[in-house]
Structure formats: structure tokens, C-alpha cells
Structure 1
Amino acid sequence: MIEPSDWSLLRSFLAVIRRGSLSAAARATGLTQPTVGRHIDELEAGLGVALFTRSQAGLLPTEAATALVPHAEAMEAAFAALVRAARSGGDARQPRGVVRISASEIVGTFVLPTILAGIRKRYPEIIIELVLNNRTDDLLRRDADIAVRMIRPKQDGLVARRIGSVPLGLYAHRDYIARFGLPDMIEALAAHHVIGFDRDDHSARSVASSQLPISRELFSYRTDSDVAQVTAIEAGLGIGGMQIAMARRNPALVPVLANQVAFELDCWLAVHEDQKDAPPIRAMFDGLAEGLARWVSEGGR
């Protein structure tokens, strides 16, 4: 019978699921191949089901294994949260520990470093981990402690604070305008090179409105990286959306349809309600709220 505390078996199970073989799983976990194989045998014996079948392509998961994956991943996330919580103890007068922050590419790359540098001066014993993505579920999965989001988190169990709104607009490099001209109406964009998403329309949905119908077919340069979209605009590849304050820092960028197209993104700070009072998380949350509020009040500069 499998004991609930025997995490090592499930750790090996997930490694085999993700790597496809005992040898690759052993390299990923730092265990020996026989140990990983023994873990799988013990897990199968304890559960009373076969989890893998052998093939020329490696180990293939059975239906039972596939059904087990989300539960094993939930345990993995909970264990990671437990480790972070254990590291976050200490004197509340000088918070210390690990705080993992999740933010969008743009905010994490261009906004947070300066804010985090100020927080580091006040709380030098906090270890900062930063992960860049646009997911809204990472707090509930305990993949992060604090999230900076440009859309309101709606999941139960989260404490969210609205920081303010950041204006966006359409821009193009002056070299692009010199070559292709400046569109004078929204409909004219169809004849231009427009930069936008590829397969992930999360960011586009955040700013979509009746002003500008957004679809993948509109774009002749497609990437799901927000940073890659900004650098493409700055390279003259086409017309795209970006924060107005960011665009103003580059004198080579020209506003496009400024009187017809304008967007705003709300900035939110969120934390899981079970973690909000941990000293390092509270210190980081308050520091981020202060820094982001200043950034928003200055127009996103």
C-alpha cells in the first residue's frame, strides 16, 4: 500500500511521464536508473494498476497513469509551496526567505527590476524568484507567491489589489512609415504589416474592444512573446501595440491612429489569502504595491 507521505515514488513517476524513459528520468532527478525503476514498480504494486507499457519509443503511459498526472502535479506544487513556506520563516522585523513572483513578460522585463532593486535595499535577506508568464492560475497551483497581472484575477482564494491602469496605443518605426505610409483609418490596417499574437491570444483579449477587431489573420508578423512584439515594432517590422510610456522613450517610434485607437490595461497585484501574512510575502507585496503605484501614476514610465 502506498503511504501518502511517500513523495519520492510520485516524483519518479512524473519524471518518467515527462522524459519518456527510466534513464532520462534518472538524469533529471539525480537518481540511478534502477532506483527510478524500483519506484515505478512500487507505485504500480501499491496502486494495483499498470502505469506504463514498453515500446520502441520508450515507456508509454497507460490510461491509469494519465489520470494520475494532475493529482501528482498538484502534490508537486503543494510540496514546492511547503518548501518555500518553510524558508520564509524568521523575524518579522527583518523578513527573510524566498518569495516567488509571477509577472507578464513586459512588466517583468521592463518594470519590475527597478522596483525590486529598491525592495532589495530594504529587505536584503529576501530571496527573489521571478517567473514570466501570462497565466492567472499559478497562485492557486502554488507555482508563485505573488502575481502581477494586467487583468483582474477572479479565482476564489486570492486577495487582489487594483493598482491602476496603463495606457496603450499603436506604434510603428519611422522607417516603416517612410516605406509604407501612415494609415488614416482603422480599415486601412488590413493593407499594412501588423504585429500580433500567434497561438496565444491572452494579451490581445485583455485589450480587445469594438475599436479594433483583433484576429490572428490581421497579423503578418506573429509571436506570442510580448517582448518580441515590442522589439519587432522597434525594428520596423510593422505596426503593433505597446505601452505609450515605453514608446515615448524611443524617438524613432511614431503613433498610429492615435485619435481612433486607444487601450488601457489594468494592473493588479494578487496573493493567495493563506500566504498574505507571511512576513517576507507581506513585505514584498507592500513594496510591489508602492512601486507599481508610482509607475502607474507616472503613466507607466
Structure 2
Amino acid sequence: MAKPDHGWDHYRTLLAVLETGSLSAAARKLGITQPTAGRHIEALEEDAGQQLFTRSQRGLEPTETARSLKGYAETMASAADAIKRATSEESGTVSGSVRVSASEVIAIEVLPPIIAPLLKTHEKLKVELSVSDQIEDLLHRQADIALRMVEPAQDALVTKFIGRIPIACFAHRDFIAEYGMPESFDDLAKMRCIGFDHQLAYVRDVLKAFPSLAIPDFSFRSDSNLAQLAAIRAGCGIGFCQVPLGRSNPDLVEVLKGKIPFSLPVWIAMHEDLRHAPRCRATFDTLAEGMSAYIRRSAA
């Protein structure tokens, strides 16, 4: 007898249980009853011929089989969301939902003023902003459009290089007034500095490109660029900041101007199948234009 072909609802429940660790929490997350969630898991276990979860003091612990199914279920989730966005568009109009992926600083500090006029012009358009420093997969439709700090290497993408965002050191003017303006990296090493907690990939690339650059002993550490920016604004010390953001704040002072050899490349990309979708084309063009204008502010 052929095994039943379980639909997306069952695997959506599987994902929710994997994320929450219990049937009751998964049911609340999905807006279904706990018995329904239980039936979904039981059906998948019957199909697999083995348990997917075991009970422990911490809740439901996934088996290796359940963990192996997670990637497939996430792909199904991305496809389901992409289908929902595609069908939300009215034919020939800029309408429906478009999902944009961007790093936290760009998403929170830069994109809202760029997106606001777009939504005002196209009142039926909805923007889903995914705030993450992880590169979401455009081929599997985890996002429709992505702003990236590395060149997209995947095929089947429409890409555009926007430019490079210069990076510089900034500090609050009150901090400079109290501790003085450093004139060299040696001076900087003696002052309170803000920086990363762990050497992430881009940090290692910078150190490799500039081996003579001395990294100070940071007084404030965070791998969140947004937290670092907040610390600079609060006067915790001197830290790295995107030049357009730093110069737009009258309370911040640029330190060691012209001596920081850093910049971030910016690319915008979307799946080539979406290039003719009005909602995606309008959003892609607006983001490209807005980010170009943002970078031009560096020269102001």
C-alpha cells in the first residue's frame, strides 16, 4: 500500500516543534490545536517508520531523522512563502508582497527612508524586511531581493554592483572633548575602543589585507554592528562606522580621517525569474537608486 503524501501543513508543524521543543508551543505558534499538531507528527512518524522526537526534561528532543528532515522542511517553507508572495500581486501592477534581505545596519539604519517613498507611491505594495547578517538563499526563494556585502556567486541571478561604502573611525564629540583627538594608530591603541568580540570572516580578510594594522584592545566588544554603532553614539569609545552614517550624526566626530583603508562593497540581487514581476522590479530599482545615493553621501 502506498504511503500517504503528507502536505506542507505536516512539515510546517515539524519545523515548529523543532524550533519550540514542544507540541503546545508549536500549536500556539501556528494557530492550531495541540491534538492537531500531535496528529501531524504521528503521521510523519508513521510514514518514516520511526520516532521523530523523544521526551526529555527539556521537552521534545529531535532524533537524527527529524534533524535530517529540517533542511527539506525549510526549503518547503521558503517555497510556500514565495508562492504566497507571487500570488499576492495583481497582474500588471506594483502590488503584493516582496521580501528583502539585508544586514542589520543597512536594514535598520539605511533602508527605511528609502522604502518609505516606495510604499507611498505604490500603496498596494508590502515589504517584508529580513534583518540578518546571514546570506539568505535567493535560488530557494528565502528572499526575493538581497543586499549583500559580497559578490553573489550563484547563477540565475540578476545582480547589480552599487558601489563601496567607506568605513571610518568615529567617536562622540563629548568623548573627544574629554580624552582628546588621536593623531595616529598608536594614540588610538591607548584610548577606549569599540570592536568585535570574535574574529569573523570579514575581520580576518581585513587583517590579511592589511597585516601591519594594529588592532586595539577593545573596551566594548560585540559582534553586532548595530550594537557597536549604538556604543559609539553613547560615547563608549572610538569605533568603526559606515561613513555616511557617521557624518549624518552631528554628535559624532571622524577620527584618523583618511587613514582607514576599509570599505564594504554593496551588491543587489534577485532571481532572474522575478525580473518581470512589477513588485520586484520596482523594489529592486528603488533600492539600487537609494543605496547609490547613500554611498554618494560619503563624498559630501
Q: TM-score, normalised by structure 2?
A: 0.88
Tell me the equivalent position of 1:231: 230
Say whether the 8 Å CA contact 1:211–1:261 is kept in structure 2. no
Paired residues of 1:169 and 1:243 also in contact (CA < 8 A): yes
Secondary structure at the aligned position of 2:25 is classed as: helix
Tell me, what secondary structure is at the counterpart of 2:298?
coil
Identity across aligned pairs (percent)? 45
Note closer, same or farther for the CA distance 1:273–1:3 as it changes in structure 2 (3 Å cut): farther
1:285 to partner: Cα distance: 0.9
Q: Which residue of 1 aligns with 2:48?
A: 47
For structure 1, the 5+ residue unaligned runs are none
Return 229-238 or 114-123, whichever deviates more.
Answer: 114-123
CA change 1:252–1:34 in 2 (3 A) is: closer
Offset at residue 300 of structure 1 (A): 7.5
Moved more, 17-26 or 115-124: 115-124
Pairing 1:108-257 to 2, within 5 Å after superposition: 108-199=107-198, 201=200, 204=203, 209-210=209-210, 213=213, 218-257=217-256
Map Cα deviations across residues 110-134 of structure 1 (whole Å, 9 max, x no partner). 3222221222233221111112212
Question: Distance in 2 between the 1:115 and 1:181 partners?
Answer: 36
* Structure 1 residue 91, shift from structure 2 partner: 3.0
Aligned residues: 298
Residue 26 of structure 1 aligns with which residue?
27
| Offset, 1:214 | 7.6
What SS does the aligned partner of 1:153 have? coil
* Counterpart-to-counterpart distance in 1, 2:99 and 2:282: 13
Confirm or deny that 1:265 pairs with 2:264.
yes
Structure 2 residues without counterparts, runs of 5 or longer: none
After alignment, is 55-64 or 34-43 more displaced?
55-64
One-letter amino acid of the structure 1 residue matched with residue 60 of structure 2: L
Equivalent position amino acid for 1:105 in 2: E
TM-score using structure 1 length? 0.88
- Aligned pair in 2 of structure 1 residues 64, 77: CA closer, same or farther (>3 Å)? same
Q: Is the contact made by 2:247 and 2:254 (CA closer than 8 Å) also made in structure 1?
A: no
Preserved contact between residue 145 and residue 284 of structure 2 (Cα < 8 Å): yes
User: Which amino acid is 2:200 matched to?
Assistant: D
Return the letter of the residue paired with 1:185. Answer: S
Q: After TM superposition, give the deviation of residue 2 of structure 1 in Å.
A: 4.8
- Following TM superposition, where does structure 1 have runs of at least 4 consecutive aligned residues deviating by more than 6 angstroms? none
Over 3 Å counting, the alpha-carbon distance change for 1:68 and 1:179 in structure 2 is same
Task: Supply the RMSD in Å over aligned alpha carbons.
Answer: 2.5
Q: Deviations over 1:31-63 (max 9, x none)?
A: 222111111111111121221112232221111
How far does residue 199 in structure 1 lie from its aligned partner after superposition? 4.3
CA distance in 2, matches of 1:207, 1:2: 54
Partner of 1:66: 67
> Which letter maps to 2:77?
E
C-alpha change, 1:11 and 1:212, in structure 2 (3 Å) is farther
Aligned to 2:177, the other structure's residue is in SS state: helix
Supply the distance in 1 between the matched residues of 2:214 and 2:162 (Cα, whole angstroms). 26
Name the SS for the 1:287 alignment partner.
helix
Is contact 2:220-2:236 (8 Å) kept?
yes
